[in-house]
Structure 1
């Protein structure tokens, strides 16, 4: 390989790995690969064994309409596909080397009506990946003027193979992480509680939708420069203490976290739950991470409608019993509930006795706790 050829090859390999990070580089990869292999056109394709369809992902050097025409009308004549299905990563199929199959291919409409119209006489396919449900491949086609696949083409294709394979696999892992991250972000945005991911010295790294709204209102949480802060000075001091302990890996914080009561400026009551992220597998890995703790801030109130509906369904409460539970939660004790509903205290006590029997509660406070446990963590949209 001459210095000029080596420079071209190195430049091509660089584009291959760029494509792992940015798929927009793949057309450049295919164009340079086609020139490097002296081909008619090049393709990156995936085949789904279950549906027996070829999903052409990318190509260069051939009109998209010809690819569509091949998939719609001529793919069924391609006997090389079953052969490719049986190959592992790094194995190749050269059309002209399979003499019997090659002669049979030249008698099919695939050749007479499609391949001959673009001058295609040979091709080489390299399997890049072989998952359970199909395969991914790289292919180069040869024009009649270029001749059949020779040792130079095969050698150069195999030089490209390991780089193409690694790029495909890296891209797949990155895509998976993007999907997982997006799914996690969607889940966090669905929470009613404000979620804050913090790093060293309480530096705010990320917040969910409810968290950003909370910061905008300045109700229970706010932002001081880059730091997450609680608007209640006493609670904020406690938060900083807990976060310092979490940052240093202090076991006293515990893997279950710490709850900090917060009284906001509007006198509303909140609770901040701090979950350290330096425990378990992360500590055993002895690695450093930007995020040291997760902070959940939620108003200390019960989302009663959904919670009561869940309680009624779980314990089979009657409509009258549901009204009594709602009264206990919203109004107070038996006398207050009886006065509010215009019934006797004896009636309320009778319903309350049945409720205790169904739920296993012993006191009215137990009912309030049960309703609180039924409250959904999801925001009402």
Structure 2
């Protein structure tokens, strides 16, 4: 244990936290385990609760040929019941014999042709590192039989030292991977629309920005960030209205419609239009499309998506496409098309010859049919499905 404390433990921790931040480094960390763990063989399992299978696993310490045969054959005859993985307390070290009686295990083909040739005992070590009800991450580690019998408690104590760090690394890995996924999804999806998209938290602090948004910050001086990294209108005269729009998006809607905010570039004087869209779902049944970007990030973090487009390049989606895709009436589709193009309810009522009450009723019906709660959500939902940008 002294050598492990002084030499192996710090080295493993260094490799482990590298793996936490870069999933491609996990194999290097796993490959380092056999040395301090008696020439161990092992597997990092990722068990899927819904399918009751382990579709993903990473080996270490095995013969390369047996690795290949495990995936092709032995994985399917592994006698250790995968459903039992759900019941293992997270962080508690167990023995394989807790999952399957050793006498039963030793009568199987899996033991005879896979475990015994590699010196894997029927009471090797295991620990659940993560269990969120949807999946379980389990590390199985089997020091070679020739040294394990006389040093089982030593290896168990060494693994116990690593366990809290392993759990933390898995959690960091999960959150950072989700953050990268969110960033890619946000950037890729909204870059296709050529919209500038900013993601801010409940204090207005900038979390993510796609390429178009970075251009607005860097070149056009439409928005900027302060010392606290809060997103602000670069033109001070427009900042109060911008902050109000973001704060409204954080609260449940109190009015049927929320208007976009007009911004001006302090560099060129060009006009822009911004929408503040809540990322959380307003629906009681669960997640919306936007909130899928945020899976795995802190659940309590309230976030707002700010979409910005130059007023001279207004969004243009034909009413006919909206009517067919969302099963709206022709009148409702014409109204929605106008709103997407940046016109207000009052402007549309005046130009179309309808009363404001009629226009409000049409908007209410369109909101209901599209399962949205307010005008900015309606616009975002339709733009996200059909959106193209055309220069007027």
* TM-score normalised according to structure 1 size: 0.60
User: How far did 1:297 drift?
Assistant: 3.1
Identify the residue that residue 24 of structure 1 maps to in structure 2: 24
1:133-282 equivalences in 2 (<5 Å): 133-148=134-149, 150-191=152-193, 193-195=195-197, 208=210, 222=220, 239-243=235-239, 255=248, 259-260=261-262, 270-273=271-274
| 297, 308, 317: which one aligns with 2:309 | 297
Identify the residue that residue 306 of structure 1 maps to in structure 2: 318
Distance 1:79 1:25 in 2: 30
Return 5+ residue gaps in structure 2 as ranges. Answer: 201-205, 226-232, 249-257, 279-303, 335-347, 364-374
Does structure 1 residue 379 correspond to structure 2 residue 391? Answer: no
Cα separation, partners in 2 of 1:169 and 1:107, compared to 1, 3 Å: same
Distance 1:137 1:155 in 2: 17
1:358-377 equivalences in 2 (<5 Å): 364=352, 377=383
Distance 1:126 1:205 in 2: 35
Q: Which is higher, the Rg of structure 1 or of structure 2?
A: 1
Whether the 8 Å CA contact 2:320–2:330 is kept in 1: the answer is no
Whether the 8 Å CA contact 1:40–1:141 is kept in 2: the answer is yes
Distance 2:107 2:246 in 1: 76
Cα separation, partners in 2 of 1:365 and 1:261, compared to 1, 3 Å: farther
Which deviations, in whole Å up to 9, do the C-alpha atoms of 1:202-258 show, x marking residues without a partner? xx9986455678899xxxx7369x979xxxxxxxx9824334x589x7x69975787
Partner SS state of residue 25, structure 2: helix
| 287, 311, 329: which one aligns with 1:315 | 329
Return 5+ residue gaps in structure 1 as ranges. Answer: 199-203, 229-236, 278-291, 323-359
Distance 2:305 2:96 in 1: 58
Distance 2:143 2:25 in 1: 23
Identify the residue that residue 337 of structure 1 maps to in structure 2: none
Whether the 8 Å CA contact 2:40–2:141 is kept in 1: the answer is yes
Partner SS state of residue 33, structure 1: coil
Identify the residue that residue 132 of structure 2 maps to in structure 1: 131
User: How far did 1:62 drift?
Assistant: 0.9
Which deviations, in whole Å up to 9, do the C-alpha atoms of 1:276-306 show, x marking residues without a partner? 99xxxxxxxxxxxxxx995723335766661
RMSD: 4.9
User: How far did 1:3 drift?
Assistant: 6.4
Identify the residue that residue 10 of structure 1 maps to in structure 2: 10
Distance 1:252 1:134 in 2: 39
Does structure 1 residue 118 correspond to structure 2 residue 118? Answer: yes
Does structure 1 residue 86 correspond to structure 2 residue 82? Answer: no
User: How far did 1:174 drift?
Assistant: 1.2
Cα separation, partners in 2 of 1:71 and 1:43, compared to 1, 3 Å: same
User: How far did 1:116 drift?
Assistant: 2.8
User: How far did 1:171 drift?
Assistant: 0.8
Partner SS state of residue 88, structure 1: coil
Whether the 8 Å CA contact 1:192–1:298 is kept in 2: the answer is no
1:27-66 equivalences in 2 (<5 Å): 27-66=27-66
